């Protein structure tokens, strides 16, 4: 009997009836005169459900009791992905449902307030119980969700929160995946099945961002949208809209524009309107000012989980390199990373988790609806961020098909509809003459691997391939183009002269070939270059990956390979250069 691939819509997704219950969240919790925060981060109890369908926890209702009463538990940090914490291979590679719980107290003062539970991200589908009662459900592993929980809480005794998280990826998840079964195959262990991914990074899972409670008054601000209508020197007109929860007849809204020092610059009242403010400062990337043109250069950083030391290190390395932009490949990054981009002047192309849409089934109607919902969640989370200059709806889908064209025409137009102020793009790996989606974008991103996956080892072919490619893309599209991936796997410390694939010498030679071409096009329609990748990263096990993807110009520990110095010299010379102009735009 051979191998069979079956698309399993894993029971947990059905069980949760998740499509009918989703609480997305747009305002990041911040303490104020009227809002208090209680963190639920720390060590939780944890157990993976290793039963054959990973459904024992649900059939035995583990959420009714402390997890430690229904079986063995191990300590698991929240936030973190559970995969790399223990030395257990079965847990690292686990596909199915894992359970977390912990106890907590809330102040009796909170009895009169709205209490909201917010989970910044749990991958992939989650059900949350408070004191044994189902409270929240969410699908999607990269965006926050929240809900009011006061009615479930004890104010006079201990509370318990239990979260079940399913990391199974199916053709109907974003990103999609499949489960390959080898049932009744004597050449495999009984019941053997394995998660097959359609993308190139490890499917890290669990509660990998913060879990917090926060309070609001009974009448509260639910959402704020701010857009800049006009700016003349330092005079700006801002348009705002405030959504109020539980508003009553007597609810009044006052709005103030406050600068960094806390000084009130302008004020208004009402739930929407325009405010004129003086002393406005335009947000610029730290590498640019009004005399520079908008060329972006950079790479991807790790953004799935939340790790403050790593975030700080990554932004230090971005600045050390002189990089001014990153794309959140291939899923929305933690809000704390986005905060740093806003604060430190790094431009972001904000990408959805739609990576690896390769099979026809991935473009079905159900996925289209879900994809637009994810765009809504992403846009509502990040819409007020000055660093976000564009939305990327997908990375490398099968964009040379008519079904992808129909699907993405819808997703792109939908995204433009919910945010008419920013350009929308997707990242193509198709050829200029086959791609059917690029015609719908505002600018086009392309990933190219000449001298790596194509003509491996032959850096002398890069310049002709790339020039041909860029010329033709521009001829067809007549719009700005950005190369959002180019790179070569490099094992740190490996050297060969003349260069050979996987050596540091090859990566250096390879990048220089691309840069020579970029320099010819960047005063024309090429608006950005992004090396793949900022740092090495973990992937699934495969014969083309040596403990992960090694295309980083930094190691996974964030130390430079030789290529990092090439980029550093290049980026800083661009920062210090006088301004060229995009002739053809
Ligand atoms: C591209 C993908 C990226 C991979 C890269 C690679 O967008 O996720 O990591 O290839 O193969 O196609 O290194």
Q: What are the tens digits of pLDDT across the range 483-514?
A: 999 999 999 999 999 999 999 999 999 999 99
CA 143 to chain centre: 8
Closest ligand 1 atom number to CA of residue 539: 9
**From the CA of 487, how far away is ligand 1's center (Å)?**
9
From residue 93, alpha-carbon distances to 5, 202, 261 in Å are: 18, 10, 49
CB distance 318 to 337 below 8 Å: no
The pLDDT value given to residue 585:
58
**C-beta atoms surrounding 239 within 10 Å:** 15
**From the CA of 321, how far away is ligand 1's center (Å)?**
22
pLDDT of 74 strictly over 90 = yes
Average of per-residue pLDDT across 384-404: 97
- Indicate which residue's Cα is closest to atom 11 of ligand 1: 200
**From the CA of 243, how far away is ligand 1's center (Å)?**
40
From residue 44, alpha-carbon distances to 116, 188, 282, 304, 548 in Å are: 20, 35, 43, 20, 29
With the most atoms of ligand 1 within 8 angstroms of its CB, the residue from 358, 430, 454, 485 to mutate is 485
485: Cβ below 6 Å to ligand 1?
yes
Q: For residues 417 and 410, what is the distance between their CA atoms, to the nearest angstrom? A: 10
- Tell me the pLDDT band of 576, cut-offs 50, 70 and 90: confident
**From the CA of 549, how far away is ligand 1's center (Å)?**
9
Q: For residues 462 and 452, what is the distance between their CA atoms, to the nearest angstrom? A: 9
CB distance 202 to 357 below 8 Å: no
> Average per-residue pLDDT in the chain?
91
Q: Please state the length of the chain.
A: 585
- Tell me the pLDDT band of 15, cut-offs 50, 70 and 90: very low
First to last CA, the chain: 58
Per residue in 37-51, pLDDT (tens digit) is 999 999 999 999 999
CB distance 477 to 444 below 8 Å: yes
Catalytic residue among 351, 396, 485, 529: 396
Per residue in 414-467, pLDDT (tens digit) is 999 999 999 999 999 999 999 999 999 999 999 999 999 999 999 999 999 999
The pLDDT value given to residue 14:
33
Q: Which of 6-10, 149-153, 264-268, 299-303 has the lowest mean pLDDT?
A: 6-10
447: Cβ below 6 Å to ligand 1?
yes
pLDDT of 4 strictly over 80 = no
Max Cα distance, the chain (Å): 77
pLDDT of 581 strictly over 60 = no
Q: Is 33 a catalytic residue?
A: no
Average of per-residue pLDDT across 531-544: 95
Q: Name every residue whose Cβ is closer than 8 Å to that of residue 164 and which is 6 or more positions away in sequence.
A: 12, 57, 58, 62, 63, 97, 98, 99, 100, 126, 127, 129
What sign does the CA torsion over 302, 308, 309, 314 have?
positive
Closest CA to 138 of 173, 103, 113: 173
Prior bond of 124 cis (ω within 30°): yes
Q: Output 15 or 554, whichever has higher pLDDT.
A: 554
**C-beta atoms surrounding 26 within 10 Å:** 19
CB distance 450 to 462 below 8 Å: yes
From residue 115, alpha-carbon distances to 42, 155, 222 in Å are: 20, 12, 13
Average of per-residue pLDDT across 320-339: 94
489: Cβ below 6 Å to ligand 1?
no
- Tell me the pLDDT band of 231, cut-offs 50, 70 and 90: confident
Average of per-residue pLDDT across 203-215: 96
pLDDT of 191 strictly over 60 = yes
What region does 270 belong to: left with phi over 0, alpha with psi -120 to 50, or beta?
left
**From the CA of 485, how far away is ligand 1's center (Å)?**
8
pLDDT of 1 strictly over 50 = no
Domain annotation for the chain: domains and CATH numbers = 5-24+219-277 (2.60.40.10), 37-215 (2.60.120.260), 296-575 (3.20.20.80)
pTM comes to 0.94
- Tell me the pLDDT band of 18, cut-offs 50, 70 and 90: very low
The pLDDT value given to residue 16:
38
Closest ligand 1 atom number to CA of residue 396: 7
166: Cβ below 6 Å to ligand 1?
no
pLDDT of 299 strictly over 80 = no
Strand order in the sheet with 37-39: 37-39, 211-216, 114-119, 145-148
Q: For residues 88 and 85, what is the distance between their CA atoms, to the nearest angstrom? A: 9
392: Cβ below 6 Å to ligand 1?
no
396: Cβ below 6 Å to ligand 1?
yes
CB distance 58 to 52 below 8 Å: no
Structure tokens at 76: 């698991």
Residues 147-167 as b or e (16 or more Cβ within 10 Å = b) = bebbebbeeeeebbbbbbbbb
Closest ligand 1 atom number to CA of residue 551: 13
**From the CA of 429, how far away is ligand 1's center (Å)?**
10
549: Cβ below 6 Å to ligand 1?
yes
351: Cβ below 6 Å to ligand 1?
no
Range list of β-strands (E), 312-363: 325-327, 347-351
- Indicate which residue's Cα is closest to atom 6 of ligand 1: 200
The pLDDT value given to residue 7:
30
- Indicate which residue's Cα is closest to atom 9 of ligand 1: 200
pLDDT of 480 strictly over 80 = yes
**From the CA of 12, how far away is ligand 1's center (Å)?**
30
395: Cβ below 6 Å to ligand 1?
yes
**C-beta atoms surrounding 367 within 10 Å:** 20
536: Cβ below 6 Å to ligand 1?
no
pLDDT of 219 strictly over 90 = yes
Closest ligand 1 atom number to CA of residue 453: 11
């Amino acid at each position: 009997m051979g191998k069979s691939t079956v698309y399993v819509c894993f029971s947990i997704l059905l069980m949760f009836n998740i499509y009918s219950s989703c609480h997305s969240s747009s305002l990041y919790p911040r303490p104020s005169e009227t809002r208090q925060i209680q963190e639920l981060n720390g060590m939780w109890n944890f157990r993976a459900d290793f039963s054959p369908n990973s459904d024992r926890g649900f059939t035995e209702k583990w959420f009714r009791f402390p997890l430690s009463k229904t079986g063995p538990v191990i300590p698991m940090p929240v936030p973190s992905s559970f995969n790399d914490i223990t030395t257990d291979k079965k847990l690292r590679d686990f596909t199915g449902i894992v359970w977390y719980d912990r106890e907590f107290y809330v102040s009796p003062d909170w009895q009169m307030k709205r209490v909201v539970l917010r989970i910044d991200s749990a991958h992939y589908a989650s059900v949350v119980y408070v004191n044994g009662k189902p409270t929240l459900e969410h699908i999607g592993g990269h965006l926050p969700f929240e809900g009011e929980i006061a009615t479930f809480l004890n104010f006079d005794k201990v509370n318990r929160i239990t979260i079940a998280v399913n990391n199974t990826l199916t053709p109907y998840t974003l990103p999609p995946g499949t489960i390959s079964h080898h049932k009744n195959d004597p050449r495999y262990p009984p019941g053997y099945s394995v998660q097959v991914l359609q993308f190139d990074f490890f499917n890290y899972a669990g509660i990998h961002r913060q879990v917090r409670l926060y309070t609001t008054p009974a009448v509260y601000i639910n959402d704020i949208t701010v857009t800049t209508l006009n700016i003349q020197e330092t005079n700006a007109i801002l348009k705002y809209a405030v959504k109020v929860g539980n508003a009553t007849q007597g609810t009044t809204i006052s709005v103030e524009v406050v600068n960094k020092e806390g000084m009130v610059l302008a004020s208004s009242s009402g739930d929407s309107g325009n405010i004129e403010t003086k002393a406005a400062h335009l947000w610029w990337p730290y590498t640019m000012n009004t005399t520079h043109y908008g060329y972006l250069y950079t790479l991807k950083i790790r953004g799935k989980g939340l790790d403050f030391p790593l975030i700080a290190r990554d932004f230090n390395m971005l600045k050390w390199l002189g990089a001014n932009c990153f794309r959140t490949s291939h899923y929305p990054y933690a809000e704390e990373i986005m905060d740093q981009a806003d604060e430190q002047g790094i431009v972001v192309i904000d990408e959805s988790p739609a990576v690896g849409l390769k099979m026809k089934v991935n473009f079905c109607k159900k996925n289209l609806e879900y994809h637009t919902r994810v765009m809504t969640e992403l846009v509502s989370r990040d819409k007020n961020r000055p660093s976000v200059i564009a939305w990327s709806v997908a990375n490398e889908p099968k964009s040379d098909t008519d079904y992808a064209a129909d699907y993405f025409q819808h997703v792109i137009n939908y995204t433009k509809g919910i945010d008419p102020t920013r350009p929308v793009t997707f990242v193509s790996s198709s050829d200029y003459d086959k791609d059917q989606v690029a015609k719908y974008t505002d600018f086009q991103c392309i990933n190219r691997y000449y001298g790596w996956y194509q003509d491996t080892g032959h850096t002398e072919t890069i310049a002709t391939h790339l020039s041909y490619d860029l010329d033709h893309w521009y001829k067809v599209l007549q719009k700005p183009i950005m190369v959002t991936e180019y790179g070569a796997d490099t094992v740190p410390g490996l050297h060969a002269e003349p260069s050979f694939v996987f050596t540091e010498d090859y990566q250096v030679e390879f990048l220089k070939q691309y840069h020579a071409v970029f320099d010819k096009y960047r005063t024309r329609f090429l608006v950005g270059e992004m090396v793949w990748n900022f740092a090495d990263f973990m992937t699934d096990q495969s014969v083309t990956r040596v403990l992960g993807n090694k295309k980083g110009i930094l190691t996974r520990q964030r130390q430079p390979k030789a290529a990092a110095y090439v980029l550093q010299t290049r980026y800083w010379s661009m920062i210090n250069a006088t301004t060229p102009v995009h002739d053809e735009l």
